[in-house]
């Protein structure tokens, strides 16, 4: 199950070289060639799935077990204070490669690498209820 035009499938097939951190039967972890910070890693299922929604639950479970393993490895071996686990889905969310993948981005205090700007105003009770009713309808 692979896509011939997919760069991550080519990495899995070793047609494109990568700096592999870890590999097993189902998953692979390698260094991002455009790292946001030192040690920025990508974890992928070896099979081609477009987005989170396409990943069967058992594959998802195995994928995130590797995400945890690699996150702990980065935390232990690199001099970092924390890390972000980021998983983009669809173009609007910044997914650039349509082979579902997880970023692990090492962070240090004050690095200013990723800044989530949280809104200063709270939603009203009515706004929250409106969304909740859509989700539950």
For binding to Zn ion (CB under 5 A), which residues are involved?
3, 6, 8-9, 48, 99
Which residues pair with residue 132 across a beta bridge? none
> Does residue 100 contact residue 49 with C-beta atoms inside 8 Å?
yes
Q: Which is nearer to Zn ion, 13 or 24 (CB)?
A: 13
Closest separation in Å from C-beta 44 to Zn ion: 8
Closest separation in Å from C-beta 118 to Zn ion: 33
Q: Which is nearer to Zn ion, 10 or 75 (CB)?
A: 10
Cβ within 8 Å of residue 57, ≥6 positions away: none
Catalytic residue flag (residue 101): yes
Q: DSSP 3-state assignment of 99?
A: coil
Q: DSSP 3-state assignment of 27?
A: strand
Closest separation in Å from C-beta 7 to Zn ion: 8
The catalytic residue positions are 101
């Amino acid at each position: 199950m692979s896509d011939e035009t997919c760069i991550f499938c080519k990495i899995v097939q070793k047609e494109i070289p990568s700096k592999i951190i870890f590999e097993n039967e189902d998953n692979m972890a390698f260094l991002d060639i455009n790292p946001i910070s030192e040690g920025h890693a990508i974890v992928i299922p070896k099979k081609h799935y477009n987005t989170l929604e396409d990943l069967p639950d058992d594959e998802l479970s195995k994928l995130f077990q590797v995400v945890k393993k690699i996150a702990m490895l980065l935390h232990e071996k690199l001099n970092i204070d924390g890390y972000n686990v980021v998983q983009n889905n669809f173009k609007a969310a910044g997914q650039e490669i349509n082979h579902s993948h997880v970023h692990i981005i090492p962070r240090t205090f004050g690095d200013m690498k990723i800044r989530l700007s949280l809104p200063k105003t709270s939603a009203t009770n009515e706004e929250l209820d409106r969304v909740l009713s859509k989700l539950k309808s």
